[in-house]
Amino acid sequence: MQLSKHKLQQHLDHVYDTLIVGGGAGGLSAGIYLQRFRLSSLIVDKGKARSFWMQELQNYLGLPPGTPGRELLQKGKQHYLSLNGDWLNGYVEEVVDEGETFAVRVKVGRQDSIYPVLRAKYLIAASGIIDHLPPLDEMQNVYEYAGHNLHVCMVCDGYEMADKQCGFFAGSEASIEEIVFNLSWFTPYITIFTHGVFSVSPELRQKLQEYGYRLVETPIKRFLGQNHQMSGVELVDGSVVPLETGLISMGARYHHHYLEGLNLERKGGYLVTDNLGRTSHPRIFAIGDLKVGLNQVTVAVGDGAVSATEIWREVRHPRKWMENLQMAV
């Protein structure tokens, strides 16, 4: 059921088997499996799944190339609701461990907001990450091309950049070291843009020169192109750099602030999990982009199925949950 401010009251006394934070591909997959296991679940979604703004999915098995990410999510949501799962548009602000249940405080509504507290026995964190984009005065100019031929994932879209004039938009020297020499597997025609936000060491500068990669440190004024196809960038000095495609690697923000009070084990920005998606808390799972691993829609979908199945096994066999709790202690 699609919940709203007016339909929440009757659910405040209900304890869900699992509350899922995030309605992206991973969260939807988990919810569908939980409902098919005849467990009760609630998905709380803030409406900003990373795959939502990916305009052309090219690598998802069974989908026609060019399928918009929002279409995948819309069909997934319809499937979930058809199984009588509950869905709430909201922003999870805090999770408190009450022992046998979690109390989850949610902000509902951008105006005249309410802050209901919902409860569940298990929690699946599927709230993902959001990529940092080049900070321009007119950010709509970036969104005009992002998700089309301006990409954020080399693994997803390296093939789409093959043998093209590619702009690499870096957020740090480390991102150049990490990505550029892998990106060269797909194309040798790489121009690196720092947007003037960090300096490049003489050693790396020399290495880039040896490989024949152009380094542009002048800030970007705007992207150029039409019909969502980026064709280059204009710099603040008025010069133009022609491009056929681009890859952004400027870091990302991890959406798991609501778990800060639970002292979960982390590795950098990621939540540390076992191979079932379980975090250092025995009843909290993290899937998709929040855990260490490959950031792919297909992987997130598999993560959701695995974590949901493990929860079902534990609900069926409560003794196993107690053993996991003792091990964690």
**CATH number, domain containing residue 214:** 3.50.50.60
The angle formed by the CA atoms of residues 34, 35 and 39, to the nearest 5 degrees, is 70
Q: Round to whole Å and give the CA distance between 151 and 139.
A: 16
* 149 and 220 housed in the same domain: yes
* 173 and 270 housed in the same domain: no
Domain boundary among 249, 265, 286: 249
Is the separation of the CB atoms in 224 and 217 below 8 Å?
A: no
Mean pLDDT of 174-190: 91
Mean pLDDT of 25-50: 92
Query: Which residues share a beta bridge with 166?
Result: 190, 245
Q: Round to whole Å and give the CA distance between 290 and 300.
A: 10
* 234 and 299 housed in the same domain: no
Best CA proximity match to 214, nearest among 249, 248, 241? 241
* 217 and 239 housed in the same domain: yes
* 40 and 147 housed in the same domain: no
Largest CA distance in the chain: 68
Is the separation of the CB atoms in 152 and 146 below 8 Å?
A: yes
DSSP 213: -
* 74 and 183 housed in the same domain: no
Mean pLDDT of 273-285: 95
Q: Name every residue whose Cβ is closer than 8 Å to that of residue 178 and which is 6 or more positions away in sequence.
A: 249
* 201 and 224 housed in the same domain: yes
Domain boundary among 249, 276, 302: 249
What was the pLDDT predicted at 22? Answer: 95
Q: Round to whole Å and give the CA distance between 271 and 254.
A: 10
- Residue 280, token pair as written in the block: 């250092």
The structural domain count of the chain equals 2
* 154 and 113 housed in the same domain: no
What was the pLDDT predicted at 233? Answer: 95
Task: Look at the block and give the residue holding tokens 């899937």.
Answer: 287
Q: Percent of the chain scored above 70 by pLDDT? A: 95
Helix (H) or strand (E) holding 39: none
The angle formed by the CA atoms of residues 167, 25 and 260, to the nearest 5 degrees, is 90
Is the separation of the CB atoms in 43 and 92 below 8 Å?
A: no
Q: pTM of the predicted model, to two decimals?
A: 0.88
Q: Round to whole Å and give the CA distance between 181 and 185.
A: 7
Domain boundary among 202, 228, 249: 249
pLDDT band at 123 (very low <50, low <70, confident <90, very high): very high
Q: How many helices (H) and strands (E) does the chain have?
A: 9, 20
Q: Round to whole Å and give the CA distance between 11 and 5.
A: 11
Q: Name every residue whose Cβ is closer than 8 Å to that of residue 190 and which is 6 or more positions away in sequence.
A: 166, 167, 168, 180, 183, 184, 213, 214
* 260 and 298 housed in the same domain: yes
Question: Does residue 20 surpass a pLDDT of 90?
Answer: yes
Helix (H) or strand (E) holding 192: strand 190-193
Q: Name every residue whose Cβ is closer than 8 Å to that of residue 36 and which is 6 or more positions away in sequence.
A: 83
* 29 and 103 housed in the same domain: yes
What was the pLDDT predicted at 321? Answer: 53
Residue count of the chain = 329
Give the tens place of pLDDT for each residue, 88-118: 999 999 999 999 999 999 998 888 888 999 9
* 231 and 279 housed in the same domain: no
Q: Round to whole Å and give the CA distance between 176 and 182.
A: 10
* 146 and 226 housed in the same domain: yes
52 vs 114, higher pLDDT: 114
Q: Round to whole Å and give the CA distance between 62 and 52.
A: 18
Mean residue pLDDT across the chain: 90
Domain extent at residue 262: 2-130+252-328
- Residue 208, token pair as written in the block: 């880039």
Mean pLDDT of 182-189: 93
Counting other chains too, the contacts that 48-53 makes at CB distance below 8 Å and 24 or more residues apart are 48/130, 49/22, 49/23, 49/24, 49/25, 49/73, 49/128, 50/24, 50/128, 50/129, 50/130, 50/131, 50/289, 51/24, 51/25, 51/297, 52/24, 53/143, 53/146, 53/147
